[in-house]
Structure 1
């Protein structure tokens, strides 16, 4: 079959690595989007018909998850009827992008779970390089003070959203300890760069989400490695509070409770239809205007109404169900960590579900897509919780 050819797997593998790493390393967002078209969208469309049996099997193995995704996409398309979006055609095209993105994952899964993890390691390693470049450029080249909030390169320039992208990379690497000594050194350096980026971004939401996930992880990893990481994370957090307590608490609650209260009123004005997909809006609170709700679930409710929010919750919970079903595999355990991290991240700032691929996709559609890989790795036995670090 065409999708089983080495060149086809390499093409799709490059697309997955590009999605993860090029968000920071691509010279511009336009190049990033064009790369996704060339390396992920195009091969998926070319291989979709020859690999139709794989896609049918994907539906058969995860009917609830795929059904919820399709219903959400259909509801989003219907909402364009009443939406005040500037370009409804563009919004509809973005829904197709999401569907094609997700269709790529069952095809990528045919390479096997070990290869998938290696691809994610490569992408995360490249993000570590981007994190190091960001730190050097921001503090040493541009001369910003060390108490300044780090803004990264490329599309991780936003301190909060960039921290969520890098936090995802941390979890993709953290529980994949290499066996070789030399590779372990690179693994430690990569994690040091990624961890430093998250801390220097001063994104309390990202730090809290990452810390909570790491502390809870021993419950399902059940190994010495995860317990040591959890203890180290707690100690590091305590030291950070002692050293830079004033910096951590200076911004208070960042008006999140006031924003949430105003958003609830907005949802109440259009509870069933929302404003429509792609409709722009402002949140007025404490005498200021905010570009979005600073919460993924309420953002979806504002755009797509309560039906849209319930459909997204269904997608997210069915994703969790698939992850729990595969919790005996290493990929399943890593995805459970990512799901918890992403769920917490959605509460603080991520508020873009149907726009073109961007930082918010790392805590939404990427997790859904990776969960769609799991049926093909369910037979994998990862009781040791470790894999070879060679890539």
Structure 2
């Protein structure tokens, strides 16, 4: 049933909705409702017909999903002492996350190139939203060029918008179209994504993007990746030289102080944490911040060291799966996205189990795509011998 044309189109549109409607939906409520209709509903309906694929996923990635299930159970336990206004809603969100992750295996149905193709066009779509944001912010609103660019919709936060756009640049870098015409579109899209990250002045996103590109030759081991890495380094040096006052103007933005204060909060509740979805603030001198600006610290504050350990097991198991599949096109893309996401998590991420938002791109999206690696490895040469784009 999940392999029928109408079912595939339904689920493909769901992935497009997740990738693009975060910028284009008229409101966050519409975005969430669209995810229910186009992602969670078909995934639930097709879960039983696709049970063989899900069984294959479980056998191939037992460590990841055992850790995630244990994390979900532990999160539910912490609700007993969490100051959460609506515990039932928090439990429902955990189910949404699980269904979201499984939807990738159901959509792929053993064909990784199907997901790659959608992601390629999704990256181009995000590049168009970046162009729209640039025109609107500097042209329509007439903001000065030194102002921090804000994206559209839920990407209006310069930092989180920079992370989503930067991640799109990473997956496009790894998944190059084969036809000359599409390669022109690909190059223009990459340029727009890069310009957006720079003009958002999100140093965390820019650094994560640069280091991720510089790491490409480690696992790609081809001439193209070395040229891309060298070009990125030269562009980064030129950009820093031109924009040095803007880069250094905000200093460290209290990140070291926030991290030390987070460690003190973790030490106060090391085992149980504050509980799932507990609200907290990070005191730094006379000011306070509404989150830890680091996903690992955030998880430890809310879910304690057991929750942090389970999250680390799942997250680093994704790295292991991607490394094993590095000879495939999908494996290299997931590796690049994992590196970018891991770096981005260190600077400004404050939601793991909340409703779908920008943070999902650097937390749950790489894990969902890692599930498709189950089938990328069984093909000789991986996806490289499949015309993923033509």
Does TM, scored on the shorter chain, surpass 0.5? yes
Unaligned residue ranges in structure 1 (runs of 5+): none
Tell me how far apart the structure 2 counterparts of residues 189 and 227 of structure 1 sit (CA, whole Å). 20
Kept in 2, the 8 Å contact 1:177–1:387? The answer is no
Q: Kindly report which structure 2 residues correspond to 1:249-268, keeping only aligned pairs within 5 A, or say none.
A: 249-268=248-267
Tell me how far apart the structure 1 counterparts of residues 182 and 385 of structure 2 sit (CA, whole Å). 14
Return closer, same or farther for 1:156/1:387 CA change in 2, 3 Å cut-off.
Answer: farther
Tell me how far apart the structure 2 counterparts of residues 78 and 40 of structure 1 sit (CA, whole Å). 27
Tell me how far apart the structure 2 counterparts of residues 355 and 84 of structure 1 sit (CA, whole Å). 15
Q: Kindly report which structure 2 residues correspond to 1:105-144, keeping only aligned pairs within 5 A, or say none.
A: 105-110=104-109, 112-144=111-143
Question: Residue by residue, what CA displacement relative to the aligned partner does 1:359-379 show, whole Å, maximum 9, x if unpaired?
Answer: 001111101110011111213
Question: Residue by residue, what CA displacement relative to the aligned partner does 1:131-181 show, whole Å, maximum 9, x if unpaired?
Answer: 000000001110111110011101111101111100111011112222322
Residue 387 of structure 1 and its aligned partner are, at CA, apart by: 6.9
Equivalent position of 1:91 in the other structure: 90
Secondary structure of the 1:251 match is coil
* TM-score of the two chains, using structure 1 as the length reference: 0.97
Kept in 2, the 8 Å contact 1:180–1:389? The answer is no
Residue 388 of structure 1 and its aligned partner are, at CA, apart by: 4.9
Secondary structure of the 2:53 match is helix
Equivalent position of 1:220 in the other structure: 219
Equivalent position of 1:357 in the other structure: 356
Return closer, same or farther for 1:111/1:64 CA change in 2, 3 Å cut-off.
Answer: closer
Q: Does 1:347 align with 2:346?
A: yes
Return closer, same or farther for 1:59/1:390 CA change in 2, 3 Å cut-off.
Answer: closer
Aligned length: 390
Equivalent position of 1:337 in the other structure: 336
Tell me how far apart the structure 1 counterparts of residues 50 and 282 of structure 2 sit (CA, whole Å). 45
Kept in 2, the 8 Å contact 1:263–1:293? The answer is yes
Equivalent position of 2:197 in the other structure: 198
Equivalent position of 1:312 in the other structure: 311
Kept in 1, the 8 Å contact 2:240–2:247? The answer is yes
Kept in 2, the 8 Å contact 1:20–1:123? The answer is yes
Kept in 2, the 8 Å contact 1:221–1:333? The answer is yes
Tell me how far apart the structure 1 counterparts of residues 99 and 190 of structure 2 sit (CA, whole Å). 31
When structure 1 is superposed on structure 2, of 79-88 and 8-17 the one drifting more is 8-17
Kept in 1, the 8 Å contact 2:114–2:388? The answer is no
Coordinate RMSD, CA, aligned: 1.5
Kept in 1, the 8 Å contact 2:328–2:383? The answer is no
Question: Residue by residue, what CA displacement relative to the aligned partner does 1:162-208 show, whole Å, maximum 9, x if unpaired?
Answer: 11100111011112222322212111111111111100010111111
Equivalent position of 2:320 in the other structure: 321
When structure 1 is superposed on structure 2, of 294-303 and 16-25 the one drifting more is 16-25
Question: Residue by residue, what CA displacement relative to the aligned partner does 1:39-95 show, whole Å, maximum 9, x if unpaired?
Answer: 110001111122222222211121111100100011111111111011111111111
Tell me how far apart the structure 2 counterparts of residues 253 and 383 of structure 1 sit (CA, whole Å). 42
Return closer, same or farther for 1:384/1:321 CA change in 2, 3 Å cut-off.
Answer: closer
Residue 318 of structure 1 and its aligned partner are, at CA, apart by: 1.0
Secondary structure of the 1:284 match is strand
Residue 308 of structure 1 and its aligned partner are, at CA, apart by: 0.5
Residue 118 of structure 1 and its aligned partner are, at CA, apart by: 0.4
Tell me how far apart the structure 2 counterparts of residues 128 and 106 of structure 1 sit (CA, whole Å). 26
Tell me how far apart the structure 1 counterparts of residues 27 and 336 of structure 2 sit (CA, whole Å). 30
Secondary structure of the 1:348 match is coil
Equivalent position of 1:148 in the other structure: 147
Question: Residue by residue, what CA displacement relative to the aligned partner does 1:247-287 show, whole Å, maximum 9, x if unpaired?
Answer: 10111100001111111111111110011001101111031
Kept in 1, the 8 Å contact 2:110–2:375? The answer is no
Residue 315 of structure 1 and its aligned partner are, at CA, apart by: 0.8
Tell me how far apart the structure 2 counterparts of residues 118 and 158 of structure 1 sit (CA, whole Å). 28
Kept in 2, the 8 Å contact 1:132–1:193? The answer is yes
Residue 380 of structure 1 and its aligned partner are, at CA, apart by: 3.3
Tell me how far apart the structure 2 counterparts of residues 382 and 148 of structure 1 sit (CA, whole Å). 46
Q: Kindly report which structure 2 residues correspond to 1:54-73, keeping only aligned pairs within 5 A, or say none.
A: 54-73=53-72
Equivalent position of 1:241 in the other structure: 240
